[in-house]
Each structure stands twice: as C-alpha cells, then as structure tokens.
Structure 1
Amino acid sequence: MQASGRVLVCDSIDQAGIDSMKRAGLAVDYKPEIKATELVAGVKGYDVIIVRSRTKITKEIIDASDAKIIARVGVGLDNVDVKAAEAKKIRVINAPEAASTAVAELAIGLMISLARSIPRADAEAKKGNWIKKELMGTQLSGKYLGIVGVGNIGRNIGRMARSLRMNLIGYDPYPINKEFVGETGMIVTDLDTLVESADFITCHVPSTPETKHMFNAARFAKMKPTAYLVNTSRGEIIDENALYEALKGGKLAGAALDVYEVEPPTNKLLLGLPNVISTPHIGAQTKEAQELASTVIAEKVIQILRGVI
C-alpha cells in the first residue's frame, strides 16, 4: 500500500531512508543545509519534518507548520519542542534503537583508552618520545563498572563489559530489566552507592531538569580517586567546572567526554587536561548506525501515514 504526503528533510541523513520513503510514494524534499529563518518561512505544506541534530524545531517552526509528524533520526529529542508539538497534536518520533550498538562500542573504547592512556601514548610516540615508564595502566578485568541509565545502550555496554570480565553495578530511576540483571549478575543500587563503589562509570541518561548536573562537586567527592568517568549521553548531566576541579585536584583519575554542555565545547581548561579524552559527539557516527536510524525513521513515517501505527 502506497503512502501519501510531503516530507521535508532538514539535516543530512543516510540515503537509504530517503529512498525508502520515495518508493512508498512520498514526495521528499532534501534540504540538509536549510536555515531556521528559511524553515519558518517554508515549512507550511509539509506533512512530515525530519531532522537529525543540527536543526532545532522550535515552537515558532511548529506553529508555522501543518506537520502531522516530526521525526528525529537519532536517540534524543533535545532539539524538538515536544510540548509545542503535542499541543498541536503532532506525532513526535525518534529511533532510539538504531544507535545502541555504536554508542556502546564507543563507550567501551573510551574506557580502554582511559585505562591505558592510548591517546597520550599515540601522540607522544609520534613525536618521538618513548614514555613507556610513565604509562602504567590498569586492566578492566575484575573492575566494577557503574552504568547510570540501564536502557538499550546501557544493557549493550553491560554485555560487552561482562565479556571483558568486569562486574556490573546499575542505577536507573525506572525498573531495570530483570532478565538482564539475572543474565549479567548486575548489582542494582542507588546512584550514590554506585558512585562510591565503581571503578568506571558510564552515563546513559537523557537531558532533563532532574538529570542536569547530576554529576557535580558533591558526587565527584564521593568517587574513588582512581575512578574514571565516561559520558556519551548528554553534556548537561555533568557540571564541567566541577569536573575540571575534581580532575585537577586528583579526586578523579580521568574522564572521557563525547558530549558537552555547549557544543562545540568551549571549556578549554577542561579539555586541556592530560587525563581527559575528548571526542566530537561521535557516539552514533557509524555507517551502520546512521543507515539503520534513517531506515527505521522512514519505516515509522510510512506506517503512520498509512494509518497502520
């Protein structure tokens, strides 16, 4: 059954999803560089607005639109005014399942990089500096990994970490899947106990008023001075100034950040520390994840317009 409607794609997405929507009979306009002012002026007449990370779908854009669906090719909905959309009875959808493997693999990679100082070792070796004696690392095997937010990504990381013979501690404000807990032997606890006990902490929570600066000076003071923090979720959950002070003062061994309070990041003091690894929000930046996210969103859009879901 063919679908009907006009689709505006505002950001760069994988071609597979665009092709899928066109095959289903949708008219797709691909404008990955469209500006906010152009979007406000030109959004009327589209049934579907698709974005990735760059475009912010504000109340002004929503009020100017006739959209039935706003779709985010990715996990979060931080760049969509969901309340304004709901007020106009617009369906807001995303693809949280698409990036779970890619983000989990990056988090594990960052943990290993922290434990073995891989970025520093690489940089110094390329400069001709043989600093082997300075690079005494630590093994992941036998260590306690605290997973903050045990959803799709958190569970993927947990399974990977168990294959590395790590022990799991989990915190989530929502009930954690019982089968996963039984499968992995995860210790479920409150956030402060996790922070006090873990050798590595990896964060996988959304940006909400409740999670803003959940990692602050008080939490850093509870962590082991030998502990490492990894954040591939949302930058707002960490107080970057407090993290800088904790790392500089030796209250924390190191941190790896893929997300920041402001992106691109402006906290040069934090990023300049030798025990900080910084990547430019690449958690979902794999060919496989982007193709899957695009096709998942395309299929959801098609099914909604057909009245199936």
Structure 2
Amino acid sequence: MASKDHTVPQMYLRRFAEKRRQNSFVERVSVESYPNGPAVNVRNVGAIDSFYWSRNFTKKTPHIVEELLGKIETAATPAFNIILDDHDFALPRKWPIPQKHRTSLAWWMAAQILRTTRQRARVVTTTDLAGLDPPPNIKRANFGRDEHLSYIVQNISKLAAILFDKPWAVGFSDCCLLSSDVPVLVLNGQDDKDQLLAAAYWDVFLPLDPHRFLLLPSLGTRKDDYRARADHLAKFPGGLGLAMVQATFDAADKIVLRHPQHRLLHGKVEVDARLPSPDPFIANETSGHAYIINYEVLPPTAQIWKRWAHEHAPAEKQT
C-alpha cells in the first residue's frame, strides 16, 4: 500500500506556520508563480506517494529509510525547542547547546540535505539512470528511488559528522526569512558532485523560523574573525537577510514556504536567476548566484527580545 511521505518534516514546517483552530497553515508558493500562493495545511506540503518506500531496497524492511528519518526528526525536536522556545529572548540563553542535542540536529540537517526531491534528481544524473526516461508505470518523483535511498544510507552518518564539527552560529535576521522544499542550503555548492566535500567547505544555512537561523560558516567566512571559528551568536541586517531569502529561492526545487503573515519581500526576489535544476528533464538556462557572507558576530551575552521574532508592521504598510 502506498504511503504519503513528507520530504520536509511537519515538525519543521510548523515553525513557519500560522495556527488556525487545530491546524497549522503555511503559505506554499510555486517558484514558477512567486510571489502568490495559497495558505495550506502543513500536512499537505511536500507529501509524495511512497517517496521513501521501496520493496526493492530491502525485502524484510521496505520502510527502513522512512523509519530512520522519523527517528531523526523525533530526536531533533528537543534541539529546536531549546534554540527557539525561550519565553523572553529570541536567541538561546546558553550557546552552544548540549552535545546530545547538537548531535541530533547535525543528523537532522544531514538528512535534510540528502532526502529532498532536488537531491534525488541530482543522484539520478550520477547513476546508470542518467539519460533514461522513467518507465511508464513510475512517477517521475520516484524515478531513481532505490539509488537515492542507498545514497542516503551510505552518506548520512558521514555528513552528520562533518556538520557536527563545523562552527555553529545561531542568529537573528532583521529580514523575514523563507524556507523551501530544500530547507538546508549548501551555499555555492548545492548540487556539487561530492556533497560531503561541499558541506565541509562551503557555508551551510538553515532558516529555523521566519527570523532565526543556523549558519555553519565556511573557512572563507570565518577566516577574518577569530570569533567565528567557534560557536557564536550572529545578527544579519536586512540586506544580508534578503540575500539568504534569495539563496533559499535559488535552491528551492518546486516550492518556497512562508509564514502567512510574513509578506515583506514580494517584489524583492530575482525570479529569473535561480540555480540550474539538477533534474535531467528540465532545460537549464540559468547560472544562479554566488554568495560571500560577511556578518556581525555578537558578544556571547548579547540578546534580542522575543517579540521581534513575531511582531511586524501591518500588511498594508509592508513593501
């Protein structure tokens, strides 16, 4: 029996969602029609039939990857809570977080780099499936499923170790952030053939909610400020936050995700310069942007009031 598998966890999507009655709604925007999109229940975002389920992957446990991803999400939930759920402050009072939570969040980020529809399309281009058309009975989203699942299992622990060992910055953006169906960005190396090397070398960026983020800075980003060579706090002004919004849009496979009340950037995203799609069935005519990050490292005792993670100007005054 087919199952609905979420390529982006609901526990993460709720951080960009608005509570309505008993459900959480996020604005889902197609990259083809940005900026307009409907508010939809997070249960219906990134849900694809049998995306992680295959009888060919292992005869005894066809759901092994789906179960692994579920355990990773459960283990990472307390880490998100520690970072984001302080009653008074937008940044955690103690940073870095305890090692067990850092471990679980490193595994979560590794999973989110490897599990996406964009990653599956990239994997197809590196296997014997390259240049082939999907069989008539196989949905395009599931073409290359076994190869992709094997790739996840073979690389997730190594990638988690790489992410764990980098410096971590937790930060606040003055600009409202987006997320997407590719929530963890490997800036300048999103579709690199060696994903482990790319994550080790380049900046890794994760929007945590509409104003807070994790940045794992590259060697180049941290070389001029010794404080960025260890875990630290960060502040992104509006312009740098907008650059991260653009980077999120560039790397999204099919959709970007936004809190329904965060509408500051409708006219400020370049829609014609996204990263080339790794999907072999899509013609690529763009080159994407390149990113160099330079930001303010905050003192370890700095804080931002929690209200600024939620309060915004009325919609009619936003541009």
- Is TM > 0.5 for Structure 1 vs Structure 2? no
So what's the TM-score if we normalise by structure 2? 0.24
Structure (1/2) with the larger helix percentage: 1
Larger Rg: 1
So what's the TM-score if we normalise by structure 1? 0.24
